[in-house]
Amino acid sequence: MSTVEWHRTTRALRGDVRLDGDEIDVVVGDGLVSFDEELSISGAPIVRVGVLDPERWLIETRLLDLHSEDDERLGREVELVVDGVAYWLRSVVKRRDVFELTFEDRTACLLRDSFGATKTTAGAQRERAFIASLCERAGVPAPEMHEPLSEERRARARSAAGRTSFRADRDRDGRVRRRARGIADDARLTVKGAPIARSQIAEANTLLSVGAELNAPEVAMVAIAFAGIAESALGAHAGTFSPADGYYGVLQSSPKNWPDPHDTAGMARAFMLGGRGFQGNGAIALARTVSDPVQIAVTVEAPSNWPDNAYARQSGWERYLPEARALVAEFGGGDGTSMPPGTVTRTVEAPLTVERGESYWDAAMRIAESYRFRFFVVANTPYYLADQALMQSERLMTIGEETPGVTLLDWEWAPRKLLRSVDLECNVRAWQAPPGSVVVLDETCGPAGSDEDSRQRGRWLVGDYQRSRFGDTARITLVKGRKPIVPTQTETTQVGGDGGERPEQGAVDGHGRVTTEGGAKGIVDQCAAVALRLAPSARVSRGYTPGDTDSDHGADTALQAARDIAIRGRNPTGPTPQIPELNRAAIAVAALFGRTYAEGQQIHIEGDAFNYRGYRIQIFWRTYVGGSNHYNHIHVGAKKA
């Protein structure tokens, strides 16, 4: 490491440099022709030094020697220390006898020099934790952050992250439409004794489509329809979407858990799976042991403790259950087992990534910008902050056109063009506000300043600060704060008659069930093909073990066969961590045999637990049943009964 210090009194760069054990003095006195600083809340601090060096002392000191194995690097880092802050040399430009040396804050340099592509599952890790992990890997201090503020929570609610919707494909064949799932606009149904309206049909379709996506059993489907009727008349009650009594939405949940009262799909998903105010681990889990849909609705919504039934206090409540059953029957149509071809769209928070060839610094800056946050460095310490947090700090200065030391204060206003920046020039000794701090412009600044009607209008953030150590004037840019956002992306899944992914032609029969073509081997191969569509990174193994009498791996024929589905490098040995892709694949495989499971549920169908069209089926997932670790792979076996 070569360390050089700035001595203000002599306008010189001076320091002791050790190269190969020899100590070399570096003194640049009269040759120092410029010394400029750039500080910003949109990047890293920069120091630019101009040195007049006709004798080429910089070359002779070997400060600029390149690395012996990499011409894109110096042989060692050259560090400049200014007021106790370390900067590393990043570039050198020679023009005649003047060398311009550009130094960047050491923390930013370490992040720029750190690489390694990585990606998180959408929504699996908040951006604060992700950026903190990048700083830790780069060996720099943990970033200064703040707890999520109210504006962030509102942004997350506006983003629609977590919402799910279903849109059926257009089908002009009325007979097919009647057989498919979905309540038609002209359905002759009632809700609380009154003819159903189109808005109620839309809410019912949303509730039941989420249940269909999750392969919810019929009793859970009836329970959610019953709850929608009892709680809000499927959204028709006055005040359904206003928290007048502390709850809102079609399923009447609390604003604390659900910022958006119209997120019917999100509430339906929580009703089925539990969480965010919905009790009993959700309707799907309760359906394994409870056969009464009213009891399930009461337990999940928790208006009373069963057998007490709070819904029974509503006049005419006894007709809600028949109406709920009629809704489910109309939604299911025909045999009640097929789902219309269509698209399930889920909005999720964008995954956090470091792209191939991207540095940690560039990734952190990109992520911060996508959330409209600020990632910047001050005195070797990184900061990740929302403008709202910065704007809430105490003002450090109040200035105007007539403030002593202010020599320029420029801005531009036009109709339908928000005033977003102000340019200032000020004497460096009069300026007391570093980047990221708040200053207030007074009434002399017109539209850029405060007045009696709007004190907030005059509050500004110091965005950029530039000065020369050889001069007395600083150039400052003031900026307005931005509201945070949450970047999202949509995931779409084509669904067919079974409510799962639409199978390849010939993979399953017309009802979304496995065929027996090819016997046991054909059955397990069809299961593996469906699993791979939900877990594309997985690999399928036959695991053929001749003579194995404990599992179906003992043969690979039309009479007996088995497949293991796993993802390389994912090897949990217990309930956590889970593998979401295999969770979904296991649900889809079980659904091929008409069996319903919730995401992450243990599956151990073994022995002669059930026969399917003349074959005994094994499915192991998230269990040690079967004699091995099935937390890291799905086992599917079939044997001629």
DSSP 147-163: PPPHHHHHHHHHTTTT-
Phi/psi zone of residue 127: left (φ > 0), alpha (ψ -120 to 50 degrees), beta? Answer: alpha
Report whether pLDDT(396) > 80.
yes
How many Å apart are CA 82 and CA 39, to the nearest integer?
13
Q: Which fold has domain 2-108?
A: Pnp Oxidase; Chain A (2.30.110)
DSSP 527-541: HHHHHHHH-TT-EEE
How many Å apart are CA 266 and CA 161, to the nearest integer?
9
To which residue do tokens 């149509």 refer?
333
pLDDT tens-place string over residues 69-127: 777 777 778 888 888 888 999 999 999 999 999 999 999 999 999 999 887 754 546 88
More confident residue, 533 or 323: 323
Residue among 360, 308, 337 at smallest CA distance from 216: 337
pLDDT tens-place string over residues 413-454: 888 777 889 999 999 999 989 999 999 999 888 888 887 666
Tell whether domain 388-479 is in CATH 2.30.300.10. yes
Residue among 158, 110, 111, 103 at smallest CA distance from 368: 111
pLDDT at 600: 63
Query: Do 388-479 and 2-108 have the same topology in CATH?
Result: no
Exposed/middle/buried for 91, CB within 10 Å: 0-12, 13-18, 19+? Answer: exposed
How many Å apart are CA 451 and CA 437, to the nearest integer?
21
Give residues with Cβ within 8 angstroms of 98, minimum separation 6: 33, 50, 51, 52, 53
DSSP 177-204: HHHSSS--TT---EETTEEPPHHHHHHH
pLDDT tens-place string over residues 186-210: 888 999 999 999 999 989 999 998 8
pLDDT at 163: 61
Report whether pLDDT(178) > 70.
no
What mean pLDDT is reported for the chain? 81
Q: What is the largest CA-CA distance in the chain?
A: 100
Domain segments of the chain: what residues?
2-108, 170-340, 388-479, 504-640
Q: Highest-confidence range of 80-89, 144-153, 342-351, 357-366, by mean pLDDT?
A: 357-366
pLDDT tens-place string over residues 246-297: 889 999 999 888 888 989 989 999 999 998 899 988 999 888 888 889 999 9
Return the number of other C-beta atoms located less than 10 Å from residue 533's C-beta. Answer: 19
Helical (H) or strand (E) element with 133: helix 127-138
